[in-house]
With several copies, the nearest count.
Chain A
Amino acid sequence: MYNNYGASYQEQRLQQMMEQKQLKDFMRMYSNLVSRCFEDCVSDFTSNTLNDKELTCVNRCTLKNMKLNERIGQRFAEENAKLMEDQAKMGR
């Protein structure tokens, strides 16, 4: 899509942008995971440390949601590829 060969400044900026995006995406996924596992697992506020039940729950929540994210990511990539293909055919 951005084939200005020789326009190396643009390419460099795009590269940089994508790296920053990846970091930002990771951070968003991470904060989401923390919030979700906190919300789903912590409801006892009679103490200020996580109890055993909560610890187990947070542990499972992290693993299970990572698997969920991964699965969604795979399907998303497939569907997105299909979409791009369809749009290319239509000359969009």
Chain B
Amino acid sequence: GGGMGQAQMDPNAQLAAAEQEMEMVTDMFARLGDLCYKKCLIQRYSDEELTKAESVCTDRCVAKYFQVNRDVSEKLAKLSQANQ
């Protein structure tokens, strides 16, 4: 096979890394679902529709989760640099 792409990385390791990355994204997504459900689904099931307030809350919930994600990740990066 080829020889291009991802420099010298072993193809099996590439697959494992891709798998790991997908796993991470799905895990984040599942956690986000639980969190925004807890934070935003106030009027549980008086109805089958998301209320306007619940919809807006959900959008902000996702946006804020990504910000927390970025903040935590930057903080950890700084900590690991400080430890070297």
Contacts and interface: CB of A to CB of B under 8 A. Distances in A.
Interface string A58-92: 11111111111101110110011011000000000
Interface of A: 1-10, 13-14, 17-18, 20-21, 23-25, 27-43, 45-50, 54-69, 71-73, 75-76, 79-80, 82-83
Contacts, number: 180
Interface of A is mostly: helix
B11 A4 contact: yes
Given A6-B2, A20-B20, A45-B60, A31 B31 contact: yes
B58 A31 contact: no
A35 B48 contact: no
A9 B24 contact: no
